[in-house]
Structure 1
Amino acid sequence: MEQKTYYFVGIKGTGMAALARVLHDQGNAVLGSDIEKETFTQAPLLKAGIKILPFDPANLKPGMVVVQGNAFDDNHPEIKRAHELGLTVLSYPEAVENEVTNHTSIGIAGAHGKTSTTALLSHVLAAVEPTSFLIGDGVGKGNDNDRFFVFEADEYRDHFLAYHPDYAIMTNIDFDHPDYFNDIDDVRDSFATYGKQVKRAIFAWGDDPNLRQLNVDVPVYYYGTNPTDDFRAENIQRTPAGSTYDAYFRDEKLGTFTIHLYGEHSVLNSLAVLAVAYMEHIDMAEIKKELANFTGVKRRFSETDVADATIIDDYAHHPQEIKATIDAARQKYPDRQIITVFQPHTYSRLAAYLEGFAKSLSRADKTFVTPIFGSIRENAGNVSSADLEQRIPGSEGIDMDSMDKLLQFHNAVVVFMGAGDIEKYEDKYKELLNN
């Protein structure tokens, strides 16, 4: 493949950073620009030798291919300069689509479970066959001669409509992103459009009524735990060490598989991985080994032990994700108190899912709710953290000045959940425990 020089506008974004690493690994020259504030994606970019510059139109040089981050419009000074120089400017989804068309590609879509499933499939395939991958938590890897390209296909603002993969995994359809989609029908229509762009087959969760309505031009194989599913998990045993199950494709037993992951959703994610591997004729013994040694994803059920507490960090910010995270914590720690600290993410999101959040968080033994992580783009509106607290029996508010409320719990599992800056509460709690 011809080597190029790629310039990323907004290189620290999670998807952008991952794609920059893929293109760099393939032997291209890669650099980019962003704000000075440090992000978790920054160190891996610098470690790979990818230069990060402050925004400046003078950074653009003839011959570069410019990748435009989703957060930047055509009025950005660097993008304007790129057009003045006559450079090729690709949107982030267009740049990903280039990778999609050059490999046997698998795009993972769904309101929940995308990142975990993408990471699991990437881990398993990469251990068996040369594989490039692009994960939504900022992780990307590639080389020139890869057979597979595994990537996260995000439905937000219909970004996934840029992609035409060989296979698609669809974990679920839910009304997410109320700032973009009007209703569930709107979301389902987008998934159907994406599904019509898939070239070979779709693997979809069988319990999702919206996915059961998919009308597409390729075979749809459903995975789940029911007799009506094509790929099935039977005899599931969930213990504090993980889950073990027998996998079937219709009447054919594929084997007995173990994952050291927690929650029912982890079994489903691993079934989707098995389905792809089966269709690509990959040895099930290899798959079995790699499923068993996968340990998880950053900010998805990440655990730390401090003093007598087990602290779990999770990106969950939708009622279904919260339910799944608490379910996973109960499986791994059946005899311990589960305490949740939840940070609502934007006023519009809290208003849209108020009842759902309350129902899911009520599954914990005790819930604390932080102030809302507001967006500068929206007004406070008519909803507050107190509205959520009122709906959860025994819950309380908590903020940076009252984190010592958590010190009353001993030998507990404390789960911090949210998509804003929930880590600052977590760090404060760790500091209190250490002192």
Structure 2
Amino acid sequence: AVAGLEHPVFTFGLDHTADCTAANLTEADGRPVFDVMVRGEKYAHVELHVYGHHNVLNALAAASAAWALGLPGHAVEAGLASFTGAGRRFEHKGTYHGAEVYDDYAHHPDELHALFTTAKEMGYERLVVAFQPHTYSRTAKLFDRFVEELKIPDVAILAEIFAAREQNTLGISSADLCRNIPGAVYCSTLDKAAEALRQAARPGDLILTVGAGDIYRAGEKLLAGV
């Protein structure tokens, strides 16, 4: 995509041919720790407070921009160490009876796959997910994909579809998804979703509320005890 450009091009990525890349990549409590290398020289040592392969790439992008602007490596270290994630992107909401509660805006099957596979690698005993599909049309169009991804969690709780601006002319419900996901629980309201989370939660669980609608309220109700 950059072939033929006349101005200088600076690349980043996990491919070691990139100008900015990661070396000595390990994990501490599931969070990435690595050295940022710029053209073969160590620029910064990074210990992220967010999870996932995609956040390593995000950190390299930020480090590349900082390097191009002439910022010192210690500024990159401090900046990335203080970053705890964007709102509704694997956002830590609190702890409920020994289970950690997070919220994420993921609403497409590809996003669910990335989120769930990352979460399953974090060392928790179980992954408990309360998911709220977004729009009737998307749920119908991607039905089989949603079923496939929602089989990944150990416990799947499905809130009713978030309509957004749509009318349910398709006659579809989250209950239809549940019938295709062994052990899944259907909840017609957010109060019922919060109660299902309360009943499911165990110490050592990772609880995720997931979706682009108002499913985050189920996690907040859980934490508030209402």
Contact 1:262 1:331 in 2 (8 A): no
Aligned to 2:139: 350
TM-score, normalisation: structure 2 = 0.82
Report the Cα distance in structure 1 between the residues aligned to 2:214 and 2:159, rounded to whole angstroms: 11
Which structure's CA Rg is the greater one? 1
Shift in alpha-carbon separation, 1:394–1:275, aligned structure 2, 3 A: same
State the one-letter code of the partner of 1:355: D
Report the Cα distance in structure 1 between the residues aligned to 2:157 and 2:70, rounded to whole angstroms: 48
Report the Cα distance in structure 2 between the residues aligned to 1:421 and 1:216, rounded to whole angstroms: 46
Question: How far off is 1:222 after superposition?
Answer: 4.1
Contact 1:241 1:260 in 2 (8 A): no
Shift in alpha-carbon separation, 1:289–1:251, aligned structure 2, 3 A: same
Aligned to 2:211: 418
**Aligned to 1:356, what secondary structure does the other structure show?**
helix
Aligned to 1:268: 57
State the one-letter code of the partner of 1:368: I
Shift in alpha-carbon separation, 1:231–1:392, aligned structure 2, 3 A: farther
The match for 2:116 among 322, 326, 330 is 326
Q: Tell me, which stretches of 5 or more residues in structure 1 are unaligned?
A: 1-212
The match for 1:287 among 52, 71, 76 is 76
Question: How far off is 1:314 after superposition?
Answer: 1.4
Deviations 1:36-90 (A, max 9, x none): xxxxxxxxxxxxxxxxxxxxxxxxxxxxxxxxxxxxxxxxxxxxxxxxxxxxxxx
Deviations 1:280-309 (A, max 9, x none): 111112211221122222222222113333
The percent identity for this pair of structures is: 32
Report the Cα distance in structure 2 between the residues aligned to 1:272 and 1:327, rounded to whole angstroms: 23
Aligned to 1:336: 125
Residue 310 in 1 paired to residue 103 in 2? no
Question: How far off is 1:369 after superposition?
Answer: 1.2
Q: Tell me, which stretches of 5 or more residues in structure 2 are unaligned?
A: none
The match for 1:297 among 86, 93, 100 is 86
Report the Cα distance in structure 1 between the residues aligned to 2:175 and 2:9, rounded to whole angstroms: 44
Aligned to 1:372: 161
Question: How far off is 1:372 after superposition?
Answer: 0.5
Shift in alpha-carbon separation, 1:223–1:418, aligned structure 2, 3 A: same
Deviations 1:379-408 (A, max 9, x none): 432643234334434322123363333313
Report the Cα distance in structure 2 between the residues aligned to 1:339 and 1:216, rounded to whole angstroms: 49
Deviations 1:319-358 (A, max 9, x none): 23323333443454x0321100100011122234333333
Report the Cα distance in structure 2 between the residues aligned to 1:244 and 1:377, rounded to whole angstroms: 44
Q: Which moved more, 1:305-314 or 1:340-349?
A: 305-314
What's the C-alpha RMSD, in Å, of the aligned pairs?
2.7
Question: How far off is 1:215 after superposition?
Answer: 7.0
Q: Looking at both structures, which has the greater relative contact order when contacts are Cα pairs under 8 Å and sequence separation is at least 6?
A: 2
